[in-house]
């Protein structure tokens, strides 16, 4: 009897020099010798026929865009999403990862993960395997895809991996029965035992945003936010006891997967409101290591992923309503026109 936990459906027409294909196959054989039932296809219709057959295991699909009409990945993706949301779809494509419009299109089509990095494919496979294991306490089900019999740890991992880009993120929590604005974030902040509960935020809310430019090609780092909200600058709320610049570095790593070096300040904003005050600092940054700054492509509760864009690509995203707001365009134009970057020293970390 097979001990496999998932069907791995691989649609990939390799070339003679396709080292990625060989490396992926070797990784699957060595790292997942029994957990994955591997099915290799070079033709789209064969992969579709297999997917629609009487299978008993949940599926993971890795597909390329395809180089011929017979090997196109898009018809397979469309067929899967007509059937269910329980299949985890990975699109491996250098072309899509370099084009924000294509990345947006395939994310809207229902692709769970878009990447050019085999290391991140291997990493997400390790995250998926435990979801197929029987749970000793099957208490919960996913409100999005109705995946049944999940332990809390499985539910906690499943929701951001499979459903980060769902547009209807507001659902009823299966744990506390409360309505949530973003289920993945709710599970992380309200039910994760590993997160130290901090007091409610003070009347002053502080946020750090980051404009990060890669000097080698002048591309800017943008996060693709969950729930199809659009591309946006990495950043978020400053935690209790945290320095503003450290919050900027942390949020960029969490949302975009890139270690950055904060080099300056673009703007400090203070906005008083009736029930709270808001402080925002927009930082300028560069990758801490330009040779090792691949963006995150594994979805989680922080974001769907991230990518490096040119200013022109960002403009095009704006015309396609793919930006969460206008600030990326504003700041990228400011930087490309050699706008002033203020020194970090204007933010004193100690009293005089």
pLDDT tens column, 103-125: 999 999 999 999 999 999 999 99
| Rounded distance between C-alpha atoms, residue 256 and residue 246, angstroms | 15
Q: Which residues contact 71 (CB under 8 A, 6 or more apart)?
A: 11, 13, 42, 43, 44, 64
Rounded to an integer, the average pLDDT of 75-80 is 96
Q: Is the dihedral of CA 310, 74, 53, 15 positive or negative?
A: negative
Using one digit for the tens of pLDDT, what is the confidence trace for 123-153?
Answer: 999 999 999 998 877 789 999 999 999 999 9
Whether pLDDT at 201 is above 60: no
- Beta strands 235-237 and 204-214 are antiparallel
> In this structure, are residues 79 and 27 in contact, taking their beta carbons and an 8 Å threshold?
no
The per-residue pLDDT for 3 is 86
| Rounded distance between C-alpha atoms, residue 268 and residue 260, angstroms | 20
Instruction: Please report, rounded to a whole number, the percentage of residues in the chain having pLDDT higher than 90.
Output: 77
Residue in the structure block whose two tokens are 């027409």: 13
The per-residue pLDDT for 244 is 95
* CA dihedral of 164, 110, 49, 121, whole degrees rounded to 10: -50
- Beta strands 59-63 and 88-92 are parallel
179: β partners = 172
Rounded to an integer, the average pLDDT of 324-352 is 90
3-state SS, residue 115: strand
DSSP letter (8 states) at residue 296: P
DSSP letter (8 states) at residue 240: T
Q: Average pLDDT of the chain?
A: 92
Give the H or E element holding residue 27: helix 19-31
Residue 78: closest CA among 52, 40, 115: 52
> In this structure, are residues 143 and 183 in contact, taking their beta carbons and an 8 Å threshold?
yes
Residue in the structure block whose two tokens are 């002053």: 204
| Rounded distance between C-alpha atoms, residue 239 and residue 255, angstroms | 15
Residue 91: closest CA among 151, 32, 165: 165
Instruction: Please report, rounded to a whole number, the percentage of residues in the chain having pLDDT higher than 70.
Output: 95
Whether pLDDT at 344 is above 80: yes
| Rounded distance between C-alpha atoms, residue 11 and residue 13, angstroms | 7
pLDDT band at 202 (very low <50, low <70, confident <90, very high): very low
The per-residue pLDDT for 351 is 59
Using one digit for the tens of pLDDT, what is the confidence trace for 295-316?
Answer: 999 999 999 999 999 999 999 9
Rounded to an integer, the average pLDDT of 168-180 is 84
> In this structure, are residues 262 and 250 in contact, taking their beta carbons and an 8 Å threshold?
no
The per-residue pLDDT for 139 is 86
pLDDT band at 200 (very low <50, low <70, confident <90, very high): very low
For the beta carbon of residue 82, count every other beta carbon within 10 angstroms.
8
Rounded to an integer, the average pLDDT of 331-347 is 95
The per-residue pLDDT for 204 is 87
Structure tokens at 218: 């002048």
DSSP output for 180-240: -SSHHHHHHHHS-TTSPP-PPPPSEEEEEEEEEEETTTTEEEEEEEGGGTEEE-SEEEPPT
> In this structure, are residues 153 and 333 in contact, taking their beta carbons and an 8 Å threshold?
no
For the beta carbon of residue 247, count every other beta carbon within 10 angstroms.
22
Backbone angles phi, psi at 308, to 5 degrees: -95, 125
Residue 297: closest CA among 159, 82, 94, 46: 94
Rounded to an integer, the average pLDDT of 74-83 is 94
Using one digit for the tens of pLDDT, what is the confidence trace for 22-65?
Answer: 999 999 999 999 999 999 999 999 999 999 999 999 999 999 99
């Amino acid at each position: 009897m097979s001990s496999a936990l998932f069907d791995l459906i691989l649609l990939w027409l390799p070339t003679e020099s396709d080292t990625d294909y060989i490396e992926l196959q070797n990784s699957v054989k060595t790292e997942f010798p029994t957990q994955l039932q591997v099915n290799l296809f070079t033709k789209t219709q064969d992969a579709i026929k297999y997917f629609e057959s009487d299978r008993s295991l949940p599926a993971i699909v890795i597909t390329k865009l395809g180089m011929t009409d017979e090997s196109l990945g898009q018809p397979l993706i469309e067929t899967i999403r007509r059937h269910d949301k329980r299949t985890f779809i990975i699109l491996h494509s250098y072309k899509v990862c370099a084009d924000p419009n294509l990345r947006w299109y395939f994310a809207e089509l229902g692709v769970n993960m878009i990447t050019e990095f085999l290391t991140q494919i291997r990493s997400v496979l390790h995250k998926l395997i435990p979801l197929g294991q029987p749970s000793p306490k099957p208490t919960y089900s996913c409100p999005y895809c109705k995946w049944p019999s999940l332990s809390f740890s499985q539910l906690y991992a499943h929701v951001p991996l499979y459903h980060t880009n769902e547009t209807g993120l507001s659902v009823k929590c299966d744990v506390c029965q409360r309505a949530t604005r973003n289920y993945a974030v709710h599970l992380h902040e309200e039910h994760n035992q590993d997160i130290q509960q901090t007091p409610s935020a003070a009347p002053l809310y502080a946020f750090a945003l980051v404009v990060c430019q890669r000097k080698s090609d002048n591309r800017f780092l943008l996060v693709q936010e969950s729930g199809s909200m659009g591309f946006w600058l990495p950043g978020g709320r400053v935690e209790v006891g945290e320095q503003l610049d450290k919050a900027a570095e942390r949020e960029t790593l969490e949302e975009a997967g890139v270690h950055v070096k904060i080099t300056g300040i673009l703007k400090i904003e203070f906005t008083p409101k009736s029930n709270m005050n808001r402080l925002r600092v927009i930082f300028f940054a560069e990758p801490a290591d330009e040779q090792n700054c691949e963006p995150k492509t594994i979805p989680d509760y922080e974001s769907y992923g991230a990518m490096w864009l040119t200013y022109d690509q960002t403009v095009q995203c704006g015309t396609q309503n793919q930006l969460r707001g206008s600030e990326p365009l504003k700041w990228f134009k400011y930087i490309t026109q050699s706008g002033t970057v203020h020194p970090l020293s204007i933010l004193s970390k100690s009293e005089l």
